[in-house]
Structure 1
Amino acid sequence: MKHNLSSAAKAIATKSKHSKYLNQLVRVDQAGELAADYIYKGQLMVFKHTELKPLITHMWEQEVHHHKTFDTLQTEGRVRPSLLTPVWRIAALSLGFLTAIRGKESAMACTEAVETVIGGHYNSQLRYLLEAEMKTKEGNEGIENLKKIVSEFRDDELEHLETAVANDAHGAKPYWLLTEVIKKGCAAAIKIAERV
């Protein structure tokens, strides 16, 4: 789906009572989509000559699109990037690579854990944007476009979660420990990226 990034970026750059939140939203989502891009890049390094290549490539291509979209919003909206961007790259590439080395089930458990947290995170953002859209008289078009972007990307992330479950994520050993550690790491990264 093609989005009007200019109006969304304008809403982000315009000083309003929502400015702080919109800046955090873009900073966190850009960092998160960068991390997702690198997680799948790490997984594809392991699975590039296997039957999983098309599946991982499909999810990776969606994440690259998300990443590029938030890069554009960050630049056009004049949002400061996360100061920890190099850390996010290394951590995400390592996470993708290491879970893939452990096998298909661990890679899929990683995807399930990450996308569970991100789906919930995007839902929280959508609630805020819906409320802001209802209360804001100026800049509604920009907030509406940002809401459409977040909604579409949330749906893609939930599709990835379903794909992971359908591809033996629950077969990872130890499933519970692996997914809980990854979920807690993702939630912590979100909190850190909001501020740093």
Structure 2
Amino acid sequence: MTGAPMPAWHRRAGRLDAILAEAGRALQVLGGTVAHERANPAGAVAADDPLLSDAESRHAAGLMRVNHVGEICAQALYRGQALWCRNEGVRRVLLQAAAEEVDHLAWCRQRLDELHSRPSLLNPVWYAGAFGLGLAASRAGVPYNLGFMAETERQVEEHLDGHLEALPASDRRSRRIVTQMRNDEIGHRATAENHGAAPLPALVRGAMRVMSRVMTTTAYRI
């Protein structure tokens, strides 16, 4: 009958399918096999790219590892928010942002490989924590759901600005990547605000900064 409510078992099956799909996506993200769309803004390695000292390479790798973790968390946060979001327009906004974060993941991973380094060993922990936070945020209503996105991007912008100052001056390849990432994050924040993001309470913003500080300090080394 047209308009009949969906049976409970059908709704449960749909939720299970969505959860299993997200589990598969998480494995792709953590394994570095998820497909990305845009080319690396650093371009191909060129013969005139400056050589970094061992200390500069280690420092750049630590910073790019932190950036990679940040993108792992953003990917998980947005997909967690989208999973239970009932507003289709907002859901599309979240998934579009998540798709662009995949590009960032790939660029950071490529740069880590070039620096003969590796992603954080704790990436599964970061992903699980951010995904859980996303699920919780999705229940806060559309304005605060978007508010989490806007605040996340605002803090990431600050973090990337700091990395542009901290990266070795001669590391042009990392700088190109981080610059494009920052530009994308500014766009994500503006999109969230234009769709009605509500400012988060000061306590929540502060907690997000503390968690970010723990993550960045740990990921630089591990």
- TM-score bucket of the superposed structures, by smaller chain: 0.7 to 0.9
* Gaps in structure 2 of 5+ consecutive residues: 1-37
* Gaps in structure 1 of 5+ consecutive residues: 134-142
Length-normalised TM-score, structure 2: 0.72
Q: Which residue of 1 aligns with 2:203?
A: 177
The answer to whether the 8 Å contact 2:82/2:91 transfers is: yes
* Whole-angstrom distance in 2 between the partners of 1:162 and 1:51: 15
Equivalent of 2:173, from 129, 134, 145? Answer: 145
- 2:200 paired with 1:163: no
- 2:80 paired with 1:52: no
Shift in Å at residue 14 of structure 1? 5.4
74-83 or 91-100, which moves further after superposition? Answer: 74-83
Length-normalised TM-score, structure 1: 0.81
CA deviation map 1:107-137 (0-9, x unaligned): 22212222222111111111234x623xxxx
Shift in Å at residue 190 of structure 1? 1.1
Report which structure shows greater RCO (CA 8 Å, sep ≥6).
1
65-74 or 150-159, which moves further after superposition? Answer: 65-74
- 2:169 paired with 1:132: yes
- 2:157 paired with 1:154: no
- Choose between structure 1 and 2: higher helix proportion: 1
* Whole-angstrom distance in 2 between the partners of 1:21 and 1:184: 22
CA deviation map 1:71-114 (0-9, x unaligned): 22223432132121111010111111110122222222212222
The answer to whether the 8 Å contact 2:108/2:177 transfers is: no
- Residues 126 and 118 of structure 1, relative CA distance in 2, 3 Å threshold: same
- 2:70 paired with 1:32: yes
Q: For the pair shown, which has the larger CA radius of gyration, 1 or 2?
A: 2
**Count of aligned positions:** 182
- Following TM superposition, where does structure 1 have runs of at least 4 consecutive aligned residues deviating by more than 4 angstroms? 11-15
